[in-house]
Amino acid sequence: MGSLYSFSCEKCDYYAEVSGGEDAGFEAATQTMVCDGCCALVDVLVGKRKGPEQDFDPIPPRCPNCRGDNVTPWESRLCPKCGSTMAEGSLTVLWD
């Protein structure tokens, strides 16, 4: 089961609801990435499962908003808008 958390930047008021890293449900694997085209945090589909007992088949990462492929894993916890450290808030959604 995947999870979404709220992340916010106190400096510029940017807000995102993302997993915060690698995540997976029953059918899909995602990873939180920074899209350079949108300047946004997005959860990107990086794998799909073909069957119930199989591993995830990799999918080339693309931004779900602009469909661009200029995305990089979000490991720094820095705001994509201003570069300040973002604060992690509470769990907001459980997804499957």
| pTM for the structure as a whole | 0.92
Closest CA to 39 of 81, 85, 11, 10: 81
Output helix, strand, coil percentages for the chain, rounded to the nearest 5.
0, 50, 50
pLDDT tens for the chain, 96 residues: list them: 899 999 999 999 999 999 999 999 989 999 999 999 999 999 999 999 987 778 899 999 999 999 999 999 999 999 999 999 999 999 999 998
